[in-house]
Amino acid sequence: MKKAANITLCEFCSLNLEIERTAYYECLIQRLPDGNTAAEPLRNSDTVKQYAEDKQAEYCYSYKRLNGEVREYRIAQKLKEAAYEELFHLLYQPAVILDSNCFYGAKVLLGWSDSELGFVSHDEFIPIAEHLGVMPDIGQWIIKQSCLQLKEWNDAGTPLSGKLSINISIRQLNLKNFTHELLNNVLSEGALPIDIELDFTESFLLNDSKKVEEKFSELSMLGFGAAIDEFQTGYSTLVYLKTSSERTLKISRAYISSISTNPCDKKLVKAVIDNANRLGITTAAEGIETAEQAELVKELGCKLVQGRYYAEPCSADQFIQIMNCHGTI
């Protein structure tokens, strides 16, 4: 990957973090939170000083907000190294066909473990990676590694049933040679477009142009499947799926988590599934964590599910073990 530019305080501040500008900086440490060591305030103080030095200005921080800001700032600082040194790893979470309870395909998730930060969830670092502009390089690495894994499974006689779903950021999609480079990467690593589903988050597509629709058409002609991930109510984004023969609508876990307790969310999920079914679009419910949620989305007509109720995200070796042991759940 290309080495990312250094993160500055100015860039960090624009991540919508609350930072109070004053004529001086001062770390107001009143007490240690439970579990912290005596060295922690000193480390935090040094980081606050670095904030000010980066911007050549001085800032005041209250300790109440400091811990969260320090972690995000450290993530931003270490992210460039992780991207450059390729310190990430891939996890795989199977999808399940509700009618048969069989595994069908899998979603690729990005993991990162750091000696200082510990495990950093993708929800924590992906928004920062997007902001820093390193997501296209990380995304290219994900595609290559995912295709290598598909080939490894095929060569071992344990091919993946269904497609491997890979998230694509809007920054990647907007790259001039994205389609050409994607196809080259997939083929060069021994995989085929028909083995892959490209996931695009709904929020990234809401305000985009006809150019994106054209790229969707190109990808479909090459054989890639397409999915709108974390779908809520942005029906205007469905236009991007009209040219794809393999298309999926993945319903946001924000609705699924409350489907058994919130009648309004249940009605919204039903409306989404009904409309998708009329359009010939496969529906998948994400974030299934209970048997009740699984049964409810099945009753509403959903075809696929994914979530910790069925399987945790796991390594490639663990994934094959699960597949071999539980081809049918």
pLDDT in tens, 244-270: 566 888 998 888 988 989 999 899 899
pLDDT value for 93: 95
List the single range of 44-48, 54-58, 106-110, 265-269 with lowest mean pLDDT. 54-58
Residue 228 has pLDDT above 90, yes or no: no
Q: Which of 60, 83, 106 is the last residue of a domain?
A: 83
Q: What is the number of domains present in the chain?
A: 2
**pLDDT single digits (tens) 1-27:** 544 444 444 444 444 443 333 333 333
177/173 Cα distance (integer angstroms): 9
Q: Are residues 68 and 93 in the same domain?
A: no
**235 vs 289, higher pLDDT:** 289
* Banded model confidence at residue 47, pLDDT cuts 50, 70, 90: low
pLDDT in tens, 284-301: 999 999 999 999 999 999
Same domain, 298 and 204: yes
Supply the CATH number for residue 253's domain.
3.20.20.450
Residue with tokens 């500008």, as numbered in its chain: 21
* Domain extent for 41: 9-83
Domain's final residue, options 68, 83, 98: 83
- Structural domain includes residue 227: yes
CA torsion sign for 198, 201, 206, 207 is negative
Residues 172 and 79 placed together within one structural domain of the fold = no
Do 52 and 105 lie in one domain? The reply is no
Statement to judge: residues 95 and 66 lie in one domain: no
Inside any domain, residue 139:
yes
- In a shared domain, residues 197 and 209: yes
Question: Which pTM value belongs to this model?
Answer: 0.76
- The residue from 38, 66, 83 where one domain ends is 83
Please tell me which residue, 279 or 154, carries the higher pLDDT value. Answer: 154
Give the pLDDT mean for 71-100.
86
252 within some domain: yes
Q: Report if residue 33 sits inside a domain.
A: yes
State the average pLDDT for the chain. Answer: 77
